[in-house]
Structure 1
Amino acid sequence: MDFIMPSPSQPPIIHIATALIFNDKAQTLLVRKKGSRFFMQAGGKIDAQETAAQALARELKEELGITVSLNENDFLGSFTAEAANEPGHLIQAEVFRMTLSAPVTAQAEIAEVIWVDPATAPQEQLAPLTRDTLMPLARNILHSANPVGGEA
């Protein structure tokens, strides 16, 4: 008689909206939440009856004091990674791209805000999604916008 092992249950998934926010110095914005050692993109959980763009706009207002308007052209994709601050969970992030020139201030649960060069961001201090997916994506976006060594 064959015995079939039950498949392990999938970790719970937290649905979030976040953004790769760039400035005019080819840097991207990272935040660190209170009680966490990891830096990540600003954003947060998508509430019921809320689109990802609505959730991100709400979170950016709460966390950074900025008002934004997003559309489908700003959407980069949906990415999954291990949650940085909730062990045993995965996050599924709806990621947008935006450029920001207004100053930002850490508010609500945000302890620290920094602008970093995606090529030199401190890897050991980055949340898994930021380190493994979004920083490489930011480097690709910046490289595509400013190709080096192209023909004249």
Structure 2
Amino acid sequence: MAALLAKVNSLLLLNQAFKDTYSKQLSFVSPEVEVMSEKEKFLQSVFEYVYENLDNPQLSVELLSSHLSISRTSLYNRLLEFSGMSPVDFIRSVRLERAANLLEKNSNSISEIAYETGFSNPNYFTKVFKAKYKMTPSEYIQAQKNLVK
């Protein structure tokens, strides 16, 4: 009877040791969940689509609204509320920012950069660039070169 009692006691201690060992090693690591607001998700999806289609001169509010599966009016209202710009202004702004970046870092001509950023007319590109940056693209290039010196 004593041997049986010792064996059961030994098994219970061994069982407890296994529980202690494996319960300490088991830990749940939850993945980092990035919480984005509806506004951030919407603006990110708009920006990504515009940026992917930046070189397409046919990019329009209609294409953007159909990609997002919302009406033009809803797109206009949401974009105006979230960014303060109309869809046309938003698309133009993204194009101009990319063009300014290319003008700083690229040796392509102004016309090539205009076409690369989706403007079908280099004269129009120069006009809207000057309206946003208060200087022509060539003046912008010169100003950037002067900053580097």
TM range (shorter): under 0.3
Higher relative contact order (CA 8 A, sep 6+): 1
* Structure whose residues are more often helix by fraction: 2
TM-score, structure 2 normalization? 0.24
TM-score, structure 1 normalization? 0.24
* Structure whose residues are more often strand by fraction: 1
